[in-house]
């Protein structure tokens, strides 16, 4: 069970079940706070879409309050969903009550019934200064009541149980559990990026990091079929399904890359092959990004991880792009990346073996410190525009939706005019 919470049915007469959601970093954004809050509100509505008839949501004071009409709503399920919404600091499951100290005492007592604990703390905040007692006085009063009622002691530093009381907007919210939210910024608030997604550990984590910074992430994957198998693409689809939980709806662009790679293999020196693969991936991804009005590219590269990721080679790859290439893992160890992969649920997918398109005719001794002059010289033998066009013209697109958007997605698909669109996953 996510949190111990006595059946809400018992309290229906005196109080309303609520979830109080505290905003994360957006509380720092003074100038465009309204914009961020609107994004967060929309994302919460989307996350809870299939429950929409059962609650109302209101904003104010760095928090949203989700109120339920019925005590039968599966509040645990809702809280689990909210844990994946970026922009939320914490999720508090509790009740809304009138502003009366006697009510605070009795409701706090009810919330702690059936619980075994030795020490207690009461933590009150009072943005609504119309309430006559200050927060310390409320803590003392309710704390004394609870200590007497349950024969326990107060402990302000590491109590077994904490009761939170928020006195705000003419009412009060009381809760016993604060579930940690996902933090970050609401997805969509920072704009759009195109992430180069492989089946490995790094790029899903890099994508997740950018989702957490409020970006909408479009995914692009390159494959070398028929020279490599379908395994990598299947894994990428599974990874997009995992990442879609954080943005509700994703687009995956799939680029057959074998023909482009053949041209590279035939016309450039072997030791620079992987660098050219990457430069062309970046060019195709950038063309897609421009078409889709994205602002930057994202990769899972980390400085020094493999030959193509020395500082020099990163610079040589970068030079093929005009857009910024974000590398959120650039300063991370593999261990740190894998730990995040475990948390977000991509680890078990990425750990499966697969052949990436970069392994296609990979050189035995790849350049670790490529010379830009040599790269330019070799690349002059290639028709860059034509190769990028080759990648783009065979590109297909698949869409992924969280289950609560499933019905809508099917309807929209029937009306779509997007020529790259092919398959809908839900
Ligand atoms: P690993 O976790 O095994 O290192 P990786 O995907 O990071 O997997 P790298 O060879 O390190 O593999 O690739 C560096 C980056 O290049 C990836 O993080 C990804 O952003 C991009 N990339 C590599 N292969 C592909 C591919 N087939 N399609 C799209 N992007 C790719
Ligand atoms: Mg890597």
For residue 278, which atom of ligand 1 is closest to its CA? 16
d(CA 204, CA 217): 11
Expressed in angstroms and rounded, the spacing between residue 391 Cα and the centre of ligand 1 is 17
Q: How confident is the model at residue 11 (pLDDT cuts 50, 70, 90)?
A: very low
Which of 199, 200, 326 to mutate for ligand 1's pocket (most ligand atoms within 8 Å of CB)?
200
DSSP state string for 3-63:
S----GGGGTTT-EEEEEEEE-GGGG--TTHHHHHHHHHHHHHHHTGGGGGGEEEEEETTE
- Ligand showing the shortest atom-to-Cα distance for residue 278: 1
- Kindly state if the Cβ of 343 falls inside 6 Å of ligand 1: no
- Kindly state if the Cβ of 391 falls inside 6 Å of ligand 1: no
Strands 296-298 and 249-256: unpaired
Mean per-residue pLDDT, 57-71: 85
Q: Is the predicted pLDDT of residue 14 greater than 50, yes or no? A: no
Q: How confident is the model at residue 1 (pLDDT cuts 50, 70, 90)?
A: very low
pLDDT of the residue at 23? 92
For 103-158, the pLDDT digits (tens) are 999 999 999 998 999 999 999 999 999 999 999 999 999 999 999 999 999 999 99
pLDDT of the residue at 25? 80
**Are 420 and 253 a contacting pair, CB within 8 Å?**
yes
Among 19-28, 153-162, 326-335, where is mean pLDDT lowest? 19-28
Q: Which residue has the higher pLDDT, 370 or 94?
A: 94
- Ligand showing the shortest atom-to-Cα distance for residue 358: 1
pLDDT of the residue at 292? 98
Mean per-residue pLDDT, 339-355: 94
Q: Is the predicted pLDDT of residue 277 greater than 80, yes or no? A: yes
pTM above 0.85, yes or no: yes
Q: How confident is the model at residue 399 (pLDDT cuts 50, 70, 90)?
A: very high
**Are 29 and 89 a contacting pair, CB within 8 Å?**
no
- Kindly state if the Cβ of 332 falls inside 6 Å of ligand 1: no
| Closest C-alpha to ligand 1, atom 11 | 301
Where in the chain are the domains?
Answer: 9-180, 192-424
Mean per-residue pLDDT, 414-418: 52
pLDDT of the residue at 7? 47
For residue 201, which atom of ligand 1 is closest to its CA? 2
Sheet-wide strand order for 16-23: 55-60, 63-68, 16-23, 88-97, 171-183, 161-168, 119-125, 153-154
Q: How confident is the model at residue 26 (pLDDT cuts 50, 70, 90)?
A: confident
Architecture of domain 192-424: 3-Layer(aba) Sandwich (3.40)
Which of 199, 300, 317, 351 to mutate for ligand 1's pocket (most ligand atoms within 8 Å of CB)?
300
Q: How confident is the model at residue 13 (pLDDT cuts 50, 70, 90)?
A: very low
pLDDT of the residue at 197? 98
| Closest C-alpha to ligand 1, atom 7 | 202
| Closest C-alpha to ligand 1, atom 17 | 300
pLDDT of the residue at 410? 57
- Kindly state if the Cβ of 201 falls inside 6 Å of ligand 1: yes
Q: How confident is the model at residue 34 (pLDDT cuts 50, 70, 90)?
A: confident
DSSP state string for 180-230:
EEEESB-TTTTEEEEEE--SSSHHHHHHHHHHHBTEEEEEEEEE-TTTS-S
Mean per-residue pLDDT, 15-24: 89
For 353-386, the pLDDT digits (tens) are 878 766 767 777 888 887 899 999 999 999 999 9
pLDDT of the residue at 423? 61
- Ligand showing the shortest atom-to-Cα distance for residue 356: 1
For residue 302, which atom of ligand 1 is closest to its CA? 11
**In terms of DSSP H, where are the helices of 63-177?**
75-82, 101-112, 135-150
| Closest C-alpha to ligand 1, atom 31 | 198
pLDDT of the residue at 415? 54
Expressed in angstroms and rounded, the spacing between residue 83 Cα and the centre of ligand 1 is 28
Among 98-107, 217-226, 305-314, where is mean pLDDT lowest? 305-314
Closest C-alpha to 186, from 49, 38, 62 = 38
Expressed in angstroms and rounded, the spacing between residue 159 Cα and the centre of ligand 2 is 44
Q: How confident is the model at residue 210 (pLDDT cuts 50, 70, 90)?
A: very high
Q: Which residue has the higher pLDDT, 84 or 423?
A: 84
pLDDT of the residue at 219? 98
Q: What is the CATH number of domain 9-180?
A: 3.30.2130.30
Among 201-215, 329-343, 365-379, 392-406, where is mean pLDDT lowest? 365-379
Bridge partners of 80, per DSSP, are: none
Q: Which position has the token pair 């990026």?
A: 193
- Kindly state if the Cβ of 327 falls inside 6 Å of ligand 1: no
Q: Is the predicted pLDDT of residue 246 greater than 80, yes or no? A: yes
- Kindly state if the Cβ of 285 falls inside 6 Å of ligand 1: no
Among 6-10, 204-208, 359-363, 418-422, where is mean pLDDT lowest? 6-10
- Kindly state if the Cβ of 358 falls inside 6 Å of ligand 1: yes
């Amino acid at each position: 069970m996510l949190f111990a919470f006595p059946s809400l049915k018992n309290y229906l007469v005196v109080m309303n079940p609520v979830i109080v959601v505290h905003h994360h970093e957006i509380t720092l954004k003074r100038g465009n706070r309204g914009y961020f809050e609107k994004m967060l509100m929309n994302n919460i509505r989307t996350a809870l879409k299939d429950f929409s008839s059962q609650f109302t949501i209101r904003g104010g004071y760095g928090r949203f309050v989700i109120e339920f009409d019925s005590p039968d709503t599966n509040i645990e399920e809702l809280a689990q969903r909210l844990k994946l919404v970026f922009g939320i600091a914490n999720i508090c499951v509790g009740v809304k009550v009138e502003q009366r100290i006697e009510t605070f005492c009795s409701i706090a007592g009810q919330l702690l019934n059936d619980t075994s604990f030795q020490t207690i703390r009461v933590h009150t905040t009072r943005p609504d200064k119309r309430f006559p007692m200050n927060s310390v006085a409320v803590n003392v009063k309710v704390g004394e009541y609870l200590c007497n009622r349950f024969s326990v002691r107060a402990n302000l530093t590491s109590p077994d149980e904490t009761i939170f009381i928020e006195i705000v907007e003419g009412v009060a919210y009381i809760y016993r559990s604060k579930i940690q939210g996902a933090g970050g910024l609401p997805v969509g608030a920072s704009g759009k990026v195109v992430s180069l997604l492989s089946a490995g550990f790094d790029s899903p984590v890099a994508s997740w990091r950018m989702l957490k910074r409020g970006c909408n992430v479009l995914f692009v994957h390159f494959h070398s079929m028929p020279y490599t198998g379908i395994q990598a693409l299947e894994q990428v689809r599974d990874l997009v399904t995992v990442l879609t939980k954080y943005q509700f709806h994703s687009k995956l662009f799939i680029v057959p890359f074998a023909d482009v790679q053949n041209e590279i293999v035939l016309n450039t020196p072997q030791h620079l092959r992987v660098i050219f693969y990457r430069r062309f991936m970046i060019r195709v991804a950038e063309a897609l990004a421009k078409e889709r009005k994205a602002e930057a590219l994202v990769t899972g590269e980390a400085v020094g991880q493999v030959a193509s990721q020395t500082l020099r080679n990163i610079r040589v790859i970068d030079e093929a792009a005009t857009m910024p290439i974000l590398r959120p893992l650039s300063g991370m160890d593999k261990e740190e990346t894998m730990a995040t992969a475990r948390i977000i649920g991509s680890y078990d997918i990425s750990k499966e073996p697969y052949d990436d398109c970069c392994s296609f005719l990979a050189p035995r001794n790849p350049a670790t410190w490529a010379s830009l002059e040599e790269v330019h010289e070799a690349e002059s033998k290639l028709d860059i525009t034509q190769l990028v066009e080759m990648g783009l013209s065979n590109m297909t697109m698949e869409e992924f939706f969280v289950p609560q958007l499933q019905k809508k997605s099917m309807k929209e698909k029937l009306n779509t005019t997007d020529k790259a669109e092919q398959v809908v996953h839900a």
